[in-house]
Amino acid sequence: MSINVLYKTTKIILQLSLATIALVSVQVHAELKGSDVQAKNDVFSSVLDSRVSRYKKNLAKLAENPAIIAAVKESNKKGYSGNMNNSQWTALAEDDPQVLKLNKNETGELLAKFEQSRAFEKLNVRDAKGYLVVFSSSNTKPLVYNAAERPGFVNGLRGVWSASEIKPDPTTKKMAVQIAAPIMDDGKAIGVIHSSVTAE
């Protein structure tokens, strides 16, 4: 074998070795980065789990408030006579009278005070058919007017506490868990109160 062939062969082997080292380095870096992201997610989940447990108690306490129960009972008694659907609700401005009547009232103010004192992200109350009864006066308009088909509402009306998986809140865009609790009257679920819990 000539020196020239030996040189070229050695050069190729060296280049392949360097390429392999670079590839391994990229893979190790990716794995380390992935484990770092996973570690952050684990911390995030741990903080959120702790908050959800605490907020569950606070939400259950609020669901027992006589003003909340009275508002839901009144809505259930009247029944829904309007023609509002989710699309029409979405099209309404924040200062539309139909929106303001659901949060600029005593119960809406009660929700706002409770929300601020216990760091809830938002509070909404719904009747037995999923229609919005009242929402916190410190919040923007909820995206959904009727939540009858949402899992949190369905479970709540069955008398079951529920918490969603961690995902971006549709209103605030923050990573959050949606929580819901039944509003009970004489041992029967008559409505649902729900909120959003973030780790931020």
One pLDDT digit (tens) per residue for the chain, 200 residues: 566 555 555 555 545 554 454 444 445 444 544 444 444 445 456 666 777 778 888 888 899 999 999 999 999 998 765 678 899 999 999 999 999 999 999 999 999 888 887 767 789 999 999 999 999 987 789 989 999 999 889 988 988 887 888 888 777 777 788 889 999 999 999 999 998 877 66
Show the tokens assigned to 5. 């062939």
User: For the chain, what is the HEC assignment?
Assistant: CCHHHHHHHHHHHHHHHHHHHHHHHHHHHHHHHHHHHHHHHHHHHHHHHHHHHHHHHHHHHHHCCHHHHHHHHHHHHHCCCCCCCHHHHHHCCCCCHHHHCCCCCHHHHHHHHHHHHHCCCCEEEECCCCEEEEECCCCCCCCCCECCCCHHHHHHHCCCCEECCCEECCCCCCEEEEEEEEEEECCEEEEEEEEEEECC
Which domains are assigned to the chain?
Answer: 30-198 (3.30.450.20)
Q: What is the pLDDT of residue 176?
A: 80
Q: What is the pLDDT of residue 39?
A: 46
Q: What is the pLDDT of residue 32?
A: 44
Show the tokens assigned to 3. 């020196």
Q: What is the pLDDT of residue 200?
A: 65
